[in-house]
Structures are given as structure tokens and as C-alpha cells.
Structure 1
Amino acid sequence: MELMDLIDKRCIKLEVDAKNKNDLFDEMIGLLYDADKINSKEGFKEGILHREAQSSTGLGFELAIPHAKSKEVKVPSIAIGFSKEGLDYDAMDGEPVKLIFMIAAPEDGGDLHVMLLAELAKMLIYEDFREQLLNAKSADEVMDIIRDKAKKL
């Protein structure tokens, strides 16, 4: 399964409304639910919170990749959100988060989420790529930027 197979433009939000981590989780999970990728917002959030309790998924470089394997996942998916101002996320570097990639993997999905984390990390180490994403004007443009970067790696 390719990274682009998991991105649906209905699950991309160019400016999240959330101002804190918990509200962000609700907003991103709402995108997945509204796009019919998960069965239950509450059930999937339990998985996200369980993973987050182990250590913050705020990785630094203004980036967070919350993720969970859950029986609530109908279709493996990635929700993408942006916060131009940045929001408090308890990131490892203490800085606000601007780029959010939420990975929803099925409980029986094997190591799919690990593969996705690795693929995203390969792209997101490039500052110019992160800047392009933050400056995108539409969900289609976000998808094009990711697609182009994936082809180059």
C-alpha cells in the first residue's frame, strides 16, 4: 500500500481550529469519522490517547504524528492538519506544532503504521517540504506536494 493510497482530501484541513492538543485530536478524528474511515470517534481517540500516554508524538520541527492501531479503523488513513500559528502539543523540543499527520491503522494491520511513520519521516526531514505544505492553498495542492516528494524518494 502506497502512502498516497491513505490520503483522502476530505481528511485534510488547511487551518485547524484547535488551540490545544485535546481539541486537535477531536478535530482530526472528526475528519476521519466524517470521511467514513473510522467507526467511532471515542473508540479511536482512546487509542490515540493510549499511544500519546507512552510519549509525545510531537517530534520537533513543528511536527506531530499522532497514531493508533484500533479496531475502530475501517480504512487505513492519514488525516492532515495545519496550524499556521502553532499550538501547544507538549512536543519533544518544547516548540508549538504546525504540521499534524494523524495515522489511523487497523488493529490487524500488521506494521502498516510503522511503514507509514518511516515514509513520512523521510519526507518531513526536509524543511522546504514542510514549508511547501504550510503554504499550500488547497487540499489538492497538499496532495500534489506529497505525491511529488514521494516520487523523488
Structure 2
Amino acid sequence: MTVAAIVQPNLVKFNVVGQDRQAIIKQLATLYLQEGVIGDVDEYIAAVNEREQEGTTGVGGGIAIPHGKADTVTRSAVAIAKLAQPVEWQALDDQPVEYVFLLAIPNDGDNEHLKLLSELAGTLMDDDVRAKLQAATSSQDLEQIFEK
């Protein structure tokens, strides 16, 4: 499975408003619930927060890739959010985050989890991709960056 295969238009949001990372994660987890990606928001958020405790998912360059593996996840997915205002995320470069890529992985998806995370991180480190992120003016623009 590839990142392009799990990017869905209904999971890409532009100008997301939130005061902090918990508010952003909750909004995207609620979106997952509405789309049937997860069965329980609190269980999924607990898995994401557990991972956040291990170390920051703010990879730098205004990007965070939080992720959670849980029994409540029905299928692998990525929710993509361009934030209306940058949010503090304790990123590796100490800069606030503007783009959040929240991964949801079923508990039995160890290899898939690592593959998707690696592919997404590698893609987001590409200067051309970052330029496209900065130039995006809509959810559709964000979605097209990851099309096959």
C-alpha cells in the first residue's frame, strides 16, 4: 500500500483552525470517525498521544506526522490538514507546524505502518513537494500533490 492509495478527498482539509496539537488531532480523529476509518475517537487519540509521548512527530519545515495504531482503526488512512494558523508542536526545528499528516493504522499493520510512514516522510522532505504545499490554495491542491 502507498500513501497515494490512501489519500482520499474527504480526508483532506484546508484552513483547519485549532489552538494546539490536541485540538487538531481531535478534529482529524473526529473526521476519521465520520468516514468510518475508526470506531472510537478516544481510543484512537490515546494511541496517537502514546506515540507523541515517545518523541515529537513534528519533523521540521512546518510539518507534523502524528500517527496511531489501534484496534479501533478499520483501515489505513491519512488525514491531511493545512492549518489556518501555525501551531506549536515541539518540532525538531523548534518551528510551529502548518501541515499535519495524521496516519491511522490498524493494530495488525506493523509492516504497513513503517512503509507508509517512511514513504510519507520521504515525500515530505522533497523540496518540490514542500514548494507545492506552500503554493496550495485548496484541499484539492493538497490532494493532487499525492496523486499517483
Same-fold status (TM-score > 0.5): yes
RMSD of Structure 2 on Structure 1 (CA): 1.4
Deviation of residue 68 (structure 1)? 1.1
Partners of 2:29 and 2:72 in 1: how far apart? 11
Unaligned runs of 5+ in 1: none
- In structure 2, do the counterparts of structure 1 residues 130 and 84 end up closer, same or farther at CA, with 3 Å as the change threshold? farther
Look up the match of 1:124. Answer: 124
What is the aligned residue count?
A: 148
Deviation of residue 140 (structure 1)? 2.8
Partners of 1:96 and 1:110 in 2: how far apart? 29
Look up the match of 1:90. Answer: 90
Unaligned runs of 5+ in 2: none
Partners of 1:69 and 1:132 in 2: how far apart? 29
Deviation of residue 84 (structure 1)? 4.5
- The structure 1 segments of at least 4 consecutive aligned residues displaced by more than 6 Å after TM superposition are none
Tell me if the contact between 1:18 and 1:24 (Cα under 8 Å) persists in the aligned partners.
yes
User: CA offsets, 1:74-126, max 9 Å, x none?
Assistant: 11100000125311111121100011101100001122111111111221112
Tell me if the contact between 2:79 and 2:103 (Cα under 8 Å) persists in the aligned partners.
yes
Partners of 1:122 and 1:54 in 2: how far apart? 21
Deviation of residue 143 (structure 1)? 2.0
Look up the match of 1:73. Answer: 73
Partners of 2:38 and 2:8 in 1: how far apart? 13
Deviation of residue 17 (structure 1)? 0.9
Identity of aligned residues (%): 28
- In structure 2, do the counterparts of structure 1 residues 34 and 135 end up closer, same or farther at CA, with 3 Å as the change threshold? farther
Deviation of residue 5 (structure 1)? 1.9
Tell me if the contact between 2:7 and 2:146 (Cα under 8 Å) persists in the aligned partners.
no
Amino acid in structure 1 at the alignment position of 2:27: E
Counterparts of 1:17-96 in structure 2 under 5 Å? 17-96=17-96
Tell me if the contact between 2:20 and 2:87 (Cα under 8 Å) persists in the aligned partners.
yes
| TM-score in terms of structure 2 length | 0.92
Partners of 1:68 and 1:85 in 2: how far apart? 24
Bigger shift: 129-138 or 86-95?
129-138
Partners of 1:56 and 1:2 in 2: how far apart? 23
Partners of 2:77 and 2:58 in 1: how far apart? 19
Amino acid in structure 2 at the alignment position of 1:60: G
Tell me if the contact between 2:12 and 2:143 (Cα under 8 Å) persists in the aligned partners.
no
Partners of 1:62 and 1:33 in 2: how far apart? 26
| TM-score in terms of structure 1 length | 0.90
